[in-house]
């Protein structure tokens, strides 16, 4: 039995968003406009992804699957940069490396080693997994980067004292790196611990609605959550390892960064 949503269902969802926006306007929350724009944007982006995915599944060619993943990673880099606050310019390349490495690891481990689809590039398996992974690490990476640069700024005196005693740039950054990785990982750990008690995670819910065996859906969901938790740790650790030197000169002198926001202000 398959339950699909018809145009009336879609309409009800849109009416709900409009009602929420109206309520927000009445409460003078100043989020009504944002809410509507975001809702429309989300609908269009999801529909577009649906069309693209349908087409990619029909084509069933590995070149197209890999190309779509590359486009997703590039878009994710852009989203990470816009979400992180107080970071310097020029982090695009290290963020791209981080997202690319973790996505390849995720697809390699979860799709190829655990699910083992035939053919290996089966788009209906590989693309959703890459997408879920990117959604999670974009958040963790943005939080980790924001916290790292904040911490390096507030620890300035401590860092200078450590360097004066002969610490390397890495030794002086380590406390900030550790606290940022911890913070970036926290939502994922919380999801891991709470899933199944009050919350049925999206993937399991989807599979159950689609008529699959709930136990199988649960196992599937656990595999995804476990892989995501470990790879989120890998991604935040990796990005901070790649960027911590931006706070130092080549000979390990502490140098406060100029954030993207300040640079923009200065230019205007």
List alpha helices for 155-213, DSSP H.
156-164, 169-194, 202-209
Write the binding mask 153 to 192 for another protein: x where contact by CB under 8 A, - elsewhere.
----xx-xxxxxxxxx--x---------------------
Question: What DSSP string describes 87-106?
Answer: -BS--HHHHHHHHHHHHHHH
| Terminal alpha carbon distance of the chain | 59
Tokens 């699910």: give the residue.
115
Q: DSSP character for 256?
A: P
245 binds another protein (CB under 8 A): no
Q: Exactly one of 2, 28, 118, 266 binds another protein (CB under 8 A); which one?
A: 266
Write the binding mask 42 to 81 for another protein: x where contact by CB under 8 A, - elsewhere.
----------------------------------------
**Residues in region 82-111 near another protein by CB under 8 A:** none
CB atoms within 10 A of CB 46: 10
Residues that bind another protein (rule: CB under 8 A) add up to a total of 19
252 binds another protein (CB under 8 A): yes
| DSSP three-state, residue 47 | helix
What is the spatial distance between Cα 129 and Cα 158, in angstroms, rounded to a whole number?
Answer: 42
| DSSP three-state, residue 195 | strand
What would the two tokens of residue 18 be? 């409009």
In angstroms, what is the minimal distance from the CB of 136 to another protein? 33
Q: Exactly one of 45, 124, 154, 255 binds another protein (CB under 8 A); which one?
A: 255
Q: Exactly one of 136, 145, 254, 260 binds another protein (CB under 8 A); which one?
A: 254
Stretch that binds another protein, among 32-40, 129-137, 176-184, 246-254 (CB under 8 A): 246-254
Interacting residues with another protein (CB under 8 A): 157-158, 160-168, 171, 249, 251-255, 266
């Amino acid at each position: 039995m398959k339950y699909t949503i018809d145009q009336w269902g879609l309409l009800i969802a849109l009416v709900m968003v409009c009602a929420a926006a109206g309520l927000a306007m009445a409460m003078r929350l100043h989020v009504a406009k944002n809410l509507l724009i975001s809702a429309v944007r989300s609908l269009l982006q999801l529909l577009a992804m649906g069309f693209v995915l349908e087409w990619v599944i029909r084509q069933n060619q590995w070149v197209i699957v890999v190309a779509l993943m590359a486009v997703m990673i590039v878009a994710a880099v852009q989203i990470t940069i816009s979400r992180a606050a107080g970071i310097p310019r020029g982090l695009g390349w290290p963020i791209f490396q981080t997202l690319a490495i973790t996505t390849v690891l995720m697809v390699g481990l979860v799709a190829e080693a655990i699910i083992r689809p035939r053919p290996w590039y089966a788009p209906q398996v590989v693309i959703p997994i890459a997408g879920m992974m990117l959604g999670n690490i974009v958040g963790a990476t943005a939080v980790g980067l924001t916290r790292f640069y904040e911490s390096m700024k507030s620890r300035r005196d401590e860092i200078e004292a450590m360097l004066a005693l002969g610490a390397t740039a890495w030794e002086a950054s380590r406390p900030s790196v550790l606290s940022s990785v911890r913070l970036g990982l926290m939502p994922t750990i919380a999801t891991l611990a709470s899933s199944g008690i009050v919350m049925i995670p999206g993937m399991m819910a989807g599979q159950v609605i689609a008529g699959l065996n709930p136990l199988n859906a649960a196992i599937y969901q656990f595999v995804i959550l476990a892989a995501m938790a470990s790879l989120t740790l890998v991604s935040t650790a990796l990005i901070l390892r790649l960027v911590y030197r931006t706070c130092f000169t080549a000979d390990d002198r502490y140098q406060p960064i100029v954030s993207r926001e300040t640079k923009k202000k200065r230019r205007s």
